[in-house]
Amino acid sequence: MPELDWHADRTDLAALALLDRTPASGEIDMAAVRAYRQGRVRAKMRARGIDACILSDAINIRYATGARNMQVFISRNQPARYLLLTEGRSILYEFTGCMHLVDGLETIDEARPSLTASYVATGDGIAEREKAWAAEMAATLREVVGPGATVGVERLNAGAALALAAEGFRLVDAQAPVERARAIKSAEEMKCVEASLRATEVGVARLRAAIQPGMTETALWSVLHQAVIAQNGDYIETRLLNAGERTNPWFQETSAAVIGDNELIALDTDVVGCYGYYSDFSRTFHSGPDAPSQTQRELYKTAHEQVSHNIDILRPGMSFRDYADRAWDIPEKYFANRYYLSAHGCGMSGEYPYLYHRADFPDAGYDGELLPGMTICIESFIGEEGHGEGVKLEQQVLITETGVKVLSQFPFETALLA
């Protein structure tokens, strides 16, 4: 591989990769970030007439409070940790033995031990536990918002939700207010986004420098993991690194397949990184030792053209429908294996909105408006159906008051663009 013109050994990012408290060096005012995010959720609740939300998604709890704890574990053990948020109260029901983790967070008025209502915690006594959970929550709801209130819920067991409804509350879906809250970032929040990207770019640079034929996909992918964790990022959400013909179609999970000579290697980062913010860009590399083939360059340049065109048309105030109509036309030979989205929102994970291709809009699309403060990932996958390699490219951008700022700075491959 040629020498990489990107500093893979940068260490100045370490101070930006702390927990969700204000860094000692003061680069980011995390208290301001937390206040903004919690205020956004409460404003969206008010707008929809929701008196209280019970949040059990680990990312949403972190967004609303800054409290982080075992996000992957909690995502499949619900409700084992949950947040009750009202206009005037924020009560975190923390996982057993973990209440000390919220010390010093001004966004949480009170921490209580959670009453885990899951089958693994209760066995065949689950129904009774769900009723007990609902009774406990109902008593608190009556105290803080009154009987018969409208309560937003998410990711609860069916039994727990039914038991809570039986306590006399009107249950609604909490996804809409939280997703709409998360969609618009503050200027201080954007510092977190960019810190996560810079740290992930260090990891991708180390991954690129480690490429050599004969190593496995998993061995190469682990280089990114090590760098992310060493910089205090959280985890990688997917397994999307493939080489050779395993690059096409996309969404083949990273495996022990051996990387061969002169193959394309496609990567989608999907990193939940520093401060819990999603660093989501895609790059495709070449394993060497020879120069890329004409076919490989054609695939790469086509994907690059799609991403560049779709970034260029983005404007604040643009409707999702207008974006779909003006987006790049996918050539017929690449259409069947197209990426399922043209673009998507990005914050602490992939989020609202989804922007669909023109051809998919009638069945899957919905309208809305691109607004300043939205971070959007522009996607491309180019590969012919049934044979050959593919190229995955993606850029993360910010919608500004006047246009677009490209956030992901990792360079594209000059040898593949030649």
Per-residue pLDDT of 55-74, as tens digits, reads 999 999 999 999 999 988 88
pLDDT of residue 13: 45
- Contact (CB, 8 A) for 378 and 307: yes
What is the second-level CATH architecture of the domain 183-417?
Alpha-Beta Complex (3.90)
Q: Is 231 strand, coil or helix?
A: coil
**pLDDT, tens digit, for every residue of 243-252?**
999 999 999 9
pLDDT of residue 27: 83
Query: Which is higher by pLDDT, 16 or 261?
Result: 261
> Phi-psi region for residue 26, left (φ > 0), alpha (ψ -120 to 50) or beta?
left
User: Please, which pLDDT band fits residue 17 given cuts at 50, 70 and 90?
Assistant: very low
Residues of the chain within CATH 3.90.230.10 domain(s) are 183-417
**pLDDT, tens digit, for every residue of 19-41?**
565 555 568 999 999 999 999 99
Alpha helices in 48-118 (DSSP H): 58-65, 71-75
The share of the chain scoring above pLDDT 90, in percent, equals 86
Alpha helices in 251-319 (DSSP H): 294-312
Mean pLDDT across the chain, nearest whole number? 93
Which of 124, 118, 186, 180 minimizes the C-alpha distance to 155?
A: 118
Residue keyed to tokens 């990193």: 271
pLDDT of residue 22: 57
Q: What is the DSSP letter of 283?
A: E
- Contact (CB, 8 A) for 18 and 191: no
Q: What is the dihedral of CA 36, 38, 175, 124, to 10 degrees?
A: 150
Mean pLDDT, residues 130-136 taken together: 96
Fold of domain 51-173: Creatine Amidinohydrolase; Chain A, domain 1 (3.40.350)
Residues of the chain within CATH 3.40.350.10 domain(s) are 51-173
Which of 88, 140, 89 minimizes the C-alpha distance to 114?
A: 140
The share of the chain scoring above pLDDT 70, in percent, equals 94
Q: What is the DSSP letter of 108?
A: -
Q: Is 36 exposed, middle or buried (0-12, 13-18, 19+ CB in 10 A)?
A: middle
